Amino acid sequence: MSELIQTSDDALMAEALALAARGRGATSPNPMVGALVTQRGYVVGRGYHARAGGRHAEVVALDEAGDAATGGWLYCTLEPCCHKGRTGPCVERIVQAGLAAVVVGVEDPDPRVRGAGIRYLRERGISVTVGVREAEATRLNEAFFTVQRRARPFVTMKVALSLDGKIAVAPGERTQLTGHEASAHAHDVRGVVDAIAVGSETVVVDDPLLTARGAERQRPLVRVVFDTRMRTPPTARLLGTLDAGPVVIVTTEAGVARWPDRAGGLERAGAVVEVLPARDPAAALSRLLVHDVSDLLLEGGALLHQSMWGAGLVDRVRLYLAPVVLGETGVAWVPLGQVSIATLGESAPRWLGRDLLLETDVHRVD
């Protein structure tokens, strides 16, 4: 039992949000959730959702509180669930605990909940306040909200760029633009996202591993290759890293019909070949939900970026700006001019060694 330093709803929700963030990289496709139980000026229980399929934050906090929860208050970053999944409904446990009040960060967008948990509690005499630090609670689970509202993963478009807006010194030539610190940051991001996606040109030119080197992951990392021309060779290095997570090749019926042997070779090499009726970026992203992909890092190349950007499917741009100039023969990043360096200022620029990290949200989750 620890004495409260601050007793405002805002301060207690801030602590619950910090608890929730401990589950980053481990809870998908479930949301990150944190919870506190308070009683007469003390926090008597804390909890967070540590992994998909594990106990929910509210249950962990109530278990820690025990009998001290009776008559107390629960602070929860997301509306308590009222349906049975891999665990039972949290609202039933809250009522059984005899809580007097519940403070919620944001309503759950899942159609199985969407206010029903709040109504359940109120109908049983429990006071419920909703919307404390709502913007922060929504942003914490931006991937979960995107899946529920748009039926696709949250997409971050990542690019390393020269000062003159180029991504490579020449077509088909592998180019390392960023330094060690920026590369380490990129791998840390890989450590928590659900999936990385590239186009077939990136596989052919760079032959990347697409693993999270130096970062400790809690779940397998899904690697996605968008490949309507079936160019990915069965000998690609990423197919030798299936112990790190599945490799999904997204193609079309026309591609498989034209190159059936290539599709078969990829499947024999261990890839999962997802076949769409036609080239459709939105449908391709939605198909990834069956692989529990809620948070997708779109790493390249330029044609894939152009396709997703043009379809309005990019939620965030993350740009690593390197202090080099590649000149007229360099390969331009296609969206430049639509997403100019000057517009990437919503978050404070951050130096990573010699490189500058710029980020901006494109389509906000609200």
Give the span between the Cα atoms of 266 and 248, in whole angstroms: 10
Q: What is the DSSP letter of 290?
A: G
- At 350, which helix (H) or strand (E)? strand 350-352
Give Cα separations from 314 to 174, 235, 311, 336 (angstroms). Answer: 25, 31, 8, 14
Q: Which is catalytic among the residues 58, 64, 142, 299?
A: 58
Cβ(355)–Cβ(181) below 8 Å: yes
Which ranges constitute the DSSP H helices of 235-288?
Answer: 253-258, 260-268, 281-287
**Whether 173 is catalytic:** no
Cβ(329)–Cβ(169) below 8 Å: yes
Strands 295-300 and 154-161: parallel
Give Cα separations from 7 to 34, 48, 345 (angstroms). Answer: 17, 20, 35
Give, in degrees to the nearest 5, the angle at Cα 171 between 165 and 172: 125
Cβ(34)–Cβ(48) below 8 Å: yes
- At 306, which helix (H) or strand (E)? helix 302-310
Asked whether the CA dihedral 364, 195, 19, 35 is positive or negative, the reply is positive
Give, in degrees to the nearest 5, the angle at Cα 175 between 169 and 180: 135
- At 31, which helix (H) or strand (E)? none
Give the span between the Cα atoms of 229 and 65, in whole angstroms: 57
Residues with catalytic function = 58
